[in-house]
Structure 1
Amino acid sequence: MAEEQATQPAAPQMRVLGQYIRDMSFENIVSQKGAAPDVQPDVQVQVNLDAKKRAQDNQYECSIKLNVTSKAKEGDTVLFVLEIDYVGMFHIENVPEDQMHPFLLIECPRMIFPFLRRVVSDITRDGGFPPLNLENIDFVSLYRNEIARRQKEAAPSEPVN
């Protein structure tokens, strides 16, 4: 029994050490122009992820950067713009080196996203709009798309005859 336990790798462990807003900007553009139109919004959300190792052993940082633009569906009137960089700090053990990159860009954002969602909802409500409740983000798909994009960029282009 002891031999079986010795040959089995230890299960991955992750602890959230902290999370915070690194940078944030919210602009209520429609109110700055002196108007408060009763319009249907068209909300566009861009997501960028980043991760890096911290100086301490087994500690990493993951950030979710959102760029949210709300425009009126009729016309091009911008209602508001929100940019936020939300960071989580993690203690991670027993993750093989070759699996660390996807772990940091899939599992870590998945852990902090519910908190970011609440922050975005509060900011938009406090900014004079109905609370924006972000849809769940498929971090696996986002990761795969980014890897495919990088591979495509790195591939030498075929000469055209």
Structure 2
Amino acid sequence: MADETNGAAPQVPQVKMSVLAQFVRDMSFENIVAQKGIATNEVKPETQVQVSLDARKRATEHQYEVITKFKITSTNGPEKAPLFLLELDYAGIFHVEGIAEEQMHPFLLIECPRMLFPFIRRIVSDVTRDGGFAPFYLETIDFLVLYRAELARRAEQKPAPTQALS
């Protein structure tokens, strides 16, 4: 049974993506141990990582800026005395074509951060090491899970529709 396209496969737009630039937008590292004079043999670090993502269209056609924001807090054991705080905003400029408009948001907040992540991991490792601590290696982040969790969080925050009184 032949279809109306004379046997040719339907044209599926080809996804084109390239990283045009990537850079540190903002970074702050506070070595609280050095400031307070805590002996390093007393340190039993517990580290918490918070990640947030943002994306925006740029003026140039098919270009988007994706920003990953990390807040890494390390505290000392059960008393939770702060050891260090690292805040990093890392951005990438991407050229993206062939993605349906309704799929662009998840693509920008899942695939683009995935491309930037190895560079972010290296920066975090280097900064913590250069700051006087053992290098902190970020564990791999599943940006799809992160994206879904953010959608669920936003859905919970939306107020329930109110019924009109008659």
Write out per-residue CA displacement over residues 116-159 of structure 1, whole angstroms, 9 at most, x where no aligned residue.
Answer: 00000000000000100000011001100111111111141789
After TM superposition, the structure 1 = structure 2 runs for residues 75-154 of structure 1, keeping only pairs within 5 Å, are 75-154=79-158
Identify which of 52, 65, 80 aligns with 2:56.
52
Identify which of 55, 65, 72 aligns with 1:61.
65
- Structure 1 unmatched runs, 5+: none
Report the alpha carbon displacement of residue 76 of structure 1 after superposing the two structures with TM.
1.8
Aligned length: 158
Identify which of 12, 16, 20 aligns with 2:19.
16
Report the alpha carbon displacement of residue 9 of structure 1 after superposing the two structures with TM.
1.6
> CA-atom RMSD, angstroms?
1.8
Output the CA distance in 1 between the equivalents of 2:127 and 2:52: 19
Output the CA distance in 2 between the equivalents of 1:41 and 1:154: 37
Output the CA distance in 1 between the equivalents of 2:6 and 2:54: 40
Compare CA radii of gyration and give the structure with the larger one: 2
Aligned to 2:36: 33
Output the CA distance in 2 between the equivalents of 1:2 and 1:130: 64
Write out per-residue CA displacement over residues 14-39 of structure 1, whole angstroms, 9 at most, x where no aligned residue.
Answer: 10001000000000001101223322
Output the CA distance in 1 between the equivalents of 2:86 and 2:36: 17
Report the alpha carbon displacement of residue 74 of structure 1 after superposing the two structures with TM.
3.1
TM-score (norm 2): 0.89
Output the CA distance in 2 between the equivalents of 1:125 and 1:51: 30
Cα 1:73–1:56 change in 2 (3 A) is same
Output the CA distance in 2 between the equivalents of 1:155 and 1:112: 35
Cα 1:33–1:157 change in 2 (3 A) is farther
Structure 1 stretches of 4+ with a deviation exceeding 4 A read: none
